[in-house]
Structure 1
Amino acid sequence: MFVVCGEALWDLYGSDKGEGLSFDARIGGSPFNVAVGLARLDQEAALFTGLSTDLLGEKLFAALKTEGVETGFLLRSSRRTTLSLVTLGKDGSPSYAFYGDGAADRAVNLSDLPVFSRDIWGVHAGSFSLVTEPIGTSLLSLLGREAGERLVTLDPNVRLNVEPDLALWRERLDAFLPTTDLVKVSEEDLGLLYPSAPPAETAERWRAAGATLVVVTYGREGAEAFGSFGRVSVKGSEVDVVDTVGAGDSFMAALIAGLAERSTKSREALSRLRRDEVEALIAFATEAAGITCGRRGADPPRRAELGAAASQDG
């Protein structure tokens, strides 16, 4: 089983109705999406987060059960559910306004950290749960504890509307990197974090800091990976974009699922991947992200929707 850690929320898409607004509410939150994405790709997945017992939290809980995501690590409380107001640009790219101070998914303390059984082979963390408190400090402790014992993956997924201090994001990333085996990051996030540094330079610096594999996504242009094999690039999928909400999360879920299909479930196994294996893995993840872009909201694909198995070479 793979455990995903971080926020669970509702994305609200507003429509102008003259004097008022109407909202299309969709389940979201980057870690939530990754957990669902893994389950849809036929991988055993669990979500570790705080989840409200309010109406919205109960809907999130029901969705996890329906998708087959393990709910045993959830911390239920009466705190509110985080809301995200989503505005889409002409190209389908989203901007967010978050309402989550004091919400359940941020209220994860060091004393709440679970003890993992032997069947759990990996842990993922990402997005604003890395920098909001107390969950940020708690996840840093959790990944530090699990480093070397299980495969650890990370996606910064920078959200300045939640935490505008880029220096804090950089500081926290620097703290997480020594615990991390695989980092997935978007070109957009790298532009925010290190505007004067080429992606390849940052990727190699992160590898020197501890990451074995760094994957950079470029939207329609595809993605590239950096590791002991050198540098591998894969072109993006041709797709009619509805919006790009959740595309990065589908990519992340497919990366993890692809590794599982290859039985690459440790840092050592990750370091042994060949160039052709990495290329197939990135192509698999790119295809998954492209399918999500063709849908409204964070709607990751199921395994049957994707092409050749990630376990096949070439």
Structure 2
Amino acid sequence: MFLVCGEALFDLFPENTTATSTVKFDGRAGGSPFNVAVGLARLNVPTAILTGISSDMLGEKLAAALVEEGVSTKYLVRSGRRTTLSLVGLNQSGSATYAFYGIGSADCGVKYKHLPEIKDEPAGYHFGSYTTVIKPVAKAFIKLARNKKNKFISYDPNVRLTIEPDIAVWRKSVHDFSGCADVIKISSEDFELLHPNELPEAKAQEWFDQGVKLIILTNGSRQVSAWSRSGLKVNVKPPKTTVIDTVGAGDTFQAAMLKCLLELENPKEDLNDLNEQFLSSVLNYAATAAALTCTRRGADLPRLTELDAIMGDI
């Protein structure tokens, strides 16, 4: 089983209306790590999630959604804190902006002492998004990552300045988690926010020196690039698609990429000896999955049967 660590929330999409005194929303369960966990489960990867879930009405819905998707809930940390809400806005190209309402929420209030005992050691761990910067949960997760450094670990910063506006806090988090991670997946937008005056290749070498083995840089509908510590560089062009919105696209890429890497006999060690053909196939698979998510509203990640059907036609 693979363990995803991070937030769970509800995305609220405003519905179009001409009324000025009322607003209607379409609520969807989400949060980057929540989406990754669901995405992995939909790709038939046994998955659990470690997150704080409220005992309020929305928290009960989140827990039920996880069960429905086949994600193990044995590592949920339940509390009376409220559920985080994310107000999602879309521009004309379908790109999303977020406004978060989650101060003192269940997913951010988890402390290390609250973490459940992990009895059956997972095949690996994924960390990412705002629960890696908001205290106290960020302190709990970096301590967990350091304690599990001998296991396969992936990381995606998924920067959200509307939650933590101080980019220095995000940089510190990236530095800390890159000292534990085997794989870093980062968007070009996040990279430019974190390191506006640096080239990805130069930063990649710094991360390699910290122990990272594989770095993947996504860039929307443009090229996906990957660098390995063993010296590989691979570029892949994502398939063209009609974009409804981009919500969950990065999480879809993450889940599909992890599915491929977890099929290696020993992901942590085998990342030291990747070949170009395998890495290209991983990027193509993940980019195709992300493109499929972009054709639907919200973070509606693909199932294995859907993705297999598309890959069979390529």
TM-score of the two chains, using structure 2 as the length reference: 0.95
| Runs of 4+, deviation exceeding 3 Å | 307-310
Is the Cα–Cα contact under 8 Å of residues 293 and 301 in structure 2 kept in the other structure?
yes
Partner Cα distance (1:113, 1:283) in 2? 36
The question of 1:175 aligning with 2:197 is answered no
User: Match for 1:184: what amino acid?
Assistant: K
Residue matched to 2:42: 40
Please show how residues 1-314 of structure 1 align to structure 2 within 5 Å.
1-15=1-15, 16=17, 17-148=19-150, 150-227=151-228, 228-260=230-262, 262-307=263-308
State the identity %. Answer: 45
Name whichever of 267-276 and 32-41 sits farther off. 267-276
**Count of residues in correspondence between the two structures:** 309
User: Against the structure 1 CA distance between its residues 308 and 242, is the aligned structure 2 distance closer, same or farther, given a 3 Å change threshold?
Assistant: closer
Task: Quote how far apart the aligned CAs of 1:229 are.
Answer: 3.6
Secondary structure of the structure 2 residue equivalent to 1:137: helix
Name whichever of 121-130 and 10-19 sits farther off. 10-19
Secondary structure of the structure 1 residue equivalent to 2:14: strand
Secondary structure of the structure 2 residue equivalent to 1:179: coil
CA deviation profile, 1:221-240 (whole Å, cap 9, x unmatched): 13111001421001011110
Task: Quote how far apart the aligned CAs of 1:263 are.
Answer: 2.3
Task: Quote how far apart the aligned CAs of 1:264 are.
Answer: 4.5
Partner Cα distance (1:273, 1:218) in 2? 22
CA deviation profile, 1:241-274 (whole Å, cap 9, x unmatched): 00000000000001111112x3244321111111
User: Against the structure 1 CA distance between its residues 154 and 217, is the aligned structure 2 distance closer, same or farther, given a 3 Å change threshold?
Assistant: same
User: Against the structure 1 CA distance between its residues 257 and 107, is the aligned structure 2 distance closer, same or farther, given a 3 Å change threshold?
Assistant: same
User: Match for 2:293: what amino acid?
Assistant: T
Partner Cα distance (1:308, 1:174) in 2? 39
Secondary structure of the structure 1 residue equivalent to 2:23: strand
Secondary structure of the structure 1 residue equivalent to 2:212: coil
Partner Cα distance (2:152, 2:216) in 1? 15
Partner Cα distance (2:286, 2:205) in 1? 21
Is the Cα–Cα contact under 8 Å of residues 244 and 297 in structure 1 kept in the other structure?
yes
CA deviation profile, 1:45-74 (whole Å, cap 9, x unmatched): 001011011110111111100000000000
Partner Cα distance (1:188, 1:284) in 2? 22
Task: Quote how far apart the aligned CAs of 1:176 are.
Answer: 1.2
Is the Cα–Cα contact under 8 Å of residues 222 and 237 in structure 1 kept in the other structure?
no
Partner Cα distance (2:5, 2:128) in 1? 7
User: Against the structure 1 CA distance between its residues 240 and 212, is the aligned structure 2 distance closer, same or farther, given a 3 Å change threshold?
Assistant: same
Is the Cα–Cα contact under 8 Å of residues 247 and 292 in structure 1 kept in the other structure?
yes
Partner Cα distance (2:269, 2:310) in 1? 22
Partner Cα distance (1:56, 1:251) in 2? 27
- In structure 2, the gaps of 5 or more residues are none
Is the Cα–Cα contact under 8 Å of residues 261 and 267 in structure 2 kept in the other structure?
no
- In structure 1, the gaps of 5 or more residues are none
Partner Cα distance (2:88, 2:20) in 1? 19
Secondary structure of the structure 2 residue equivalent to 1:185: strand
Task: Quote how far apart the aligned CAs of 1:308 are.
Answer: 8.0
Name whichever of 18-27 and 195-204 sits farther off. 195-204
Partner Cα distance (1:152, 1:114) in 2? 19
Partner Cα distance (1:190, 1:127) in 2? 14
Partner Cα distance (1:163, 1:235) in 2? 32
User: Against the structure 1 CA distance between its residues 226 and 309, is the aligned structure 2 distance closer, same or farther, given a 3 Å change threshold?
Assistant: farther
Task: Quote how far apart the aligned CAs of 1:91 are.
Answer: 0.7
CA deviation profile, 1:10-29 (whole Å, cap 9, x unmatched): 00011343322111111110
Task: Quote how far apart the aligned CAs of 1:118 are.
Answer: 4.5
Partner Cα distance (2:94, 2:206) in 1? 32
Is the Cα–Cα contact under 8 Å of residues 46 and 71 in structure 2 kept in the other structure?
yes
Is the Cα–Cα contact under 8 Å of residues 216 and 227 in structure 2 kept in the other structure?
yes
